[in-house]
């Protein structure tokens, strides 16, 4: 629907996380380059920018309550950092600690070198690992003899659990694949869509008939155990460096913090969106929502009762805890970046990373900063505990694993309620339907981590794509 001819087009962006700030950056840049008379406002319910990125400096430590790094494998992410002038502030993971571990009966065992999430890329490190029994190892190595799916079911969506059990066996799923994937998606493997999260494995089965055969042609990176830590980067002063930089491109009078989004409605007579917050009312010619789907879709349904979107996107909740220790308090030396905990171990801790091992400038000399994750789709009941209970339980488990001899210098708890979208079976069809629904709405766009990936590079790419579509729309409407 064309925008009414006027001097300035008012665009609203809901949410000042990575999605909202990146969308603002690209759209403002391109509108300026094309000399489009656009004013872009960003509305955020909290008192800070960044969304789930939350960096805190405390007593010489740098805490990351949200993401602590991003994957540089996608060159678009590095290009973006160059564009923002942040390339020189990037730091890699510490090379000497690029190993990950898996907990088994309170003992930490390194992920076999060459293991690719669920598939061993190197034979001897896998055979020498105590993580699986000999029966489990044999079942894994028989994967090339497992028939690929029939042509009738080849293109059907499949859960991670189904795929791993079918091709590698139950032991590989429970002991290795489930905790490794939970560390990324905080998901239930019985619900997680392989097509929407790791389609490469399905492609390998289709093209090679076997994942292990495919790995002969796509060898994992040398010198790492588990996650490819050499491909991860952060910033010397923490991840908030990125979102703070993006916020600098938003004029002060166009950034509205502490504005809780209440409702929206399309005013047909004005051809504008009216956005109501607890603080004030806004009118926009075009609106972009970068909020979680559950915060915006019900309001869209009320605004356009004749064109409802009835499906829902599920989200998982989690808690991030930090513990600061004197290094001498850990009597069991740990030479890696972190470890994950299988659900079958029945622990509160889902995963743990040593930020002071992972990146420089995260802890003072002689100190160790440990970050613990609780909750996730399989363990959300753990989040019913109070902060004190979560802290005590996690600390007790860490004592058994790390041999702690002292209490932490301090600890923190930060909860993220319904912030991780769950890419369940059928997710892509749901997104396709959502896109069709939104396409019918006037001058409205969605952007967020529930479309094409939960990683920071994925979200930035989604913001760029959304901005391209908005720019095209604005150019067409200005000419009409």
Q: Report the 10 Å Cβ neighbour count for 124.
A: 11
Distance of CA 162 to the CA centre of its chain: 23
Mean pLDDT of 204-233: 80
- Whether residue 150 is predicted with pLDDT greater than 60 in this model: the reply is yes
Mean pLDDT of 151-169: 89
- The answer to whether 417 and 280 are in contact (CB under 8 A) is no
| 62, 64, 67, 68: CA torsion to nearest 10 | 30
| C-alpha to C-alpha distance for 383 and 374, rounded to whole angstroms | 8
What pLDDT, on a 0 to 100 scale, did the predictor assign at position 68?
97
| C-alpha to C-alpha distance for 119 and 177, rounded to whole angstroms | 9
Q: What is the pLDDT of residues 8-65, one digit of tens each?
A: 999 999 999 999 999 999 999 999 999 999 999 999 999 999 999 999 999 999 999 9
Using CB atoms within 10 Å of the CB of residue 227, give its burial: 0 to 12 exposed, 13 to 18 middle, 19+ buried.
buried
What pLDDT, on a 0 to 100 scale, did the predictor assign at position 221?
56
Class of the domain covering 69-97+232-237+315-421:
alpha beta
Fold of the domain built from segment(s) 9-51+240-312+424-479: FAD/NAD(P)-binding domain (3.50.50)
Mean pLDDT of 364-371: 98
Using CB atoms within 10 Å of the CB of residue 35, give its burial: 0 to 12 exposed, 13 to 18 middle, 19+ buried.
exposed
- The answer to whether 367 and 345 are in contact (CB under 8 A) is no
Mean pLDDT value across the chain: 93
- Whether residue 6 is predicted with pLDDT greater than 90 in this model: the reply is no
- Nearest Cα residue to 204 out of 118, 137, 125: 118
Mean pLDDT of 193-215: 94
Mean pLDDT of 96-109: 96
C-alpha dihedral sign at 215, 138, 155, 432 = negative
Residue 108's alpha-carbon distances to 33, 99, 142, 178, in angstroms, are 54, 12, 26, 16
What pLDDT, on a 0 to 100 scale, did the predictor assign at position 227?
63
Name the pLDDT band for 153 (thresholds 50, 70, 90).
Answer: confident
Give me the sheet containing 261-267, strands edge to edge.
Answer: 261-267, 272-277, 281-284
Q: What is the pLDDT of residues 379-412, one digit of tens each?
A: 999 999 999 999 999 999 999 999 999 999 999 9
DSSP state of 347: -
- Percentage, residues of the chain above pLDDT 90: 87
- Among 54-68, 212-226, 317-331, where is mean pLDDT lowest? 212-226
Backbone φ and ψ of 173, nearest 5° = -65, -55
| C-alpha to C-alpha distance for 149 and 64, rounded to whole angstroms | 42
Name the pLDDT band for 5 (thresholds 50, 70, 90).
Answer: very low
What pLDDT, on a 0 to 100 scale, did the predictor assign at position 3?
52
Q: What is the pLDDT of residues 439-464, one digit of tens each?
A: 999 999 999 999 999 999 999 999 99
Tokens coding 250: 């938003």
What pLDDT, on a 0 to 100 scale, did the predictor assign at position 311?
87
Name the pLDDT band for 306 (thresholds 50, 70, 90).
Answer: low
Name the pLDDT band for 1 (thresholds 50, 70, 90).
Answer: very low
DSSP string, 186-221: ---TTTBBHHHH-HHHHHHHHHHS-HHHHHHHSPPP
Task: Map out the domains of the chain as residue ranges.
Answer: 9-51+240-312+424-479, 69-97+232-237+315-421, 112-219
H-helix or E-strand spanning residue 429: helix 427-439
| C-alpha to C-alpha distance for 416 and 65, rounded to whole angstroms | 9
Q: What is the pLDDT of residues 105-133, one digit of tens each?
A: 999 999 999 999 899 999 999 999 999 99
Tokens coding 198: 């790791």
| C-alpha to C-alpha distance for 383 and 377, rounded to whole angstroms | 11
Q: Report the 10 Å Cβ neighbour count for 366.
A: 8
DSSP state of 285: S
- Whether residue 4 is predicted with pLDDT greater than 50 in this model: the reply is no
What pLDDT, on a 0 to 100 scale, did the predictor assign at position 420?
96
**Rg of the chain, C-alpha, whole Å:** 24
Provide the CATH number for the domain formed by 112-219 in this structure: 1.10.3110.10
What pLDDT, on a 0 to 100 scale, did the predictor assign at position 2?
42
């Amino acid at each position: 629907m064309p925008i009414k001819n006027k001097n300035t087009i008012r665009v609203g962006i809901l949410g000042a996380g990575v999605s909202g700030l990146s969308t603002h950056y690209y759209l403002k840049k391109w509108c300026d380059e094309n000399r489009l008379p656009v004013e872009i406002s960003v509305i955020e319910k909290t008192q800070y920018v960044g969304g789930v990125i939350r960096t805190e400096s405390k007593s010489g430590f740098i805490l990351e309550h949200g993401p602590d790094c991003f994957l540089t494998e996608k060159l678009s992410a590095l290009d973006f950092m160059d564009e923002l002038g942040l390339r020189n502030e990037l730091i890699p993971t510490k090379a000497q600690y690029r190993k990950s571990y898996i907990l088994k009966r309170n003992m930490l065992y390194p992920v076999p070198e060459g293991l690719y999430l669920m598939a061993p890329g190197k034979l001897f490190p896998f055979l020498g690992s105590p993580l699986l029994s000999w029966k489990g190892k044999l079942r894994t190595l028989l994967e090339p003899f497992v028939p690929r799916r029939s042509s009738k079911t080849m293109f059907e969506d499949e859960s991670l659990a189904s795929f791993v059990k079918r091709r590698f066996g139950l032991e590989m799923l429970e002991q290795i694949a489930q905790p490794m994937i939970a560390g990324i998606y905080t998901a239930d493997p019985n619900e997680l869509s392989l097509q929407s999260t790791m389609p490469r494995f399905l492609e390998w089965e289709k093209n090679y008939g076997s994942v292990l055969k495919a790995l002969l042609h796509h060898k994992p990176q040398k010198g790492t155990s588990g996650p490819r830590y050499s491909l991860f980067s952060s910033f010397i002063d923490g991840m908030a460096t990125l979102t703070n930089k993006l916020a600098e491109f938003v004029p002060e009078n166009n950034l509205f913090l502490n504005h809780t989004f209440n409702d929206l409605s399309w005013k047909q007579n004005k051809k504008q969106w009216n956005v109501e917050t607890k603080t004030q009312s806004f009118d926009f010619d075009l609106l972009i929502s970068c909020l979680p789907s559950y915060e915006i879709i019900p309001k869209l349904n009320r605004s356009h009762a004749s064109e409802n979107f009835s499906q829902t996107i599920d989200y998982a909740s989690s808690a991030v805890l930090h513990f600061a220790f004197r290094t001498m308090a850990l009597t069991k030396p740990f030479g890696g970046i972190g470890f994950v905990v299988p659900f079958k171990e029945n622990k509160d801790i889902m995963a743990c990373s040593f930020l002071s091992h992972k990146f420089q400038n995260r802890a003072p000399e002689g100190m160790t900063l440990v970050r613990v994750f609780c909750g996730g789709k399989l363990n959300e009941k753990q989040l019913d505990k109070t902060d004190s209970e979560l802290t005590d339980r996690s600390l007790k488990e860490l004592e058994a694993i790390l041999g702690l001899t002292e209490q932490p210098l301090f600890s923190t708890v930060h909860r993220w309620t319904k912030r991780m979208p769950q890419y369940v079976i059928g997710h892509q069809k749901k997104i396709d339907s959502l896109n069709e629904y939104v396409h019918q709405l006037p001058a409205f766009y969605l952007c967020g981590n529930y479309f094409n990936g939960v990683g920071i590079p994925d979200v930035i790419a989604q913001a760029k794509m959304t901005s391209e579509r908005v720019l095209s729309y604005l150019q067409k409407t200005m000419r009409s």
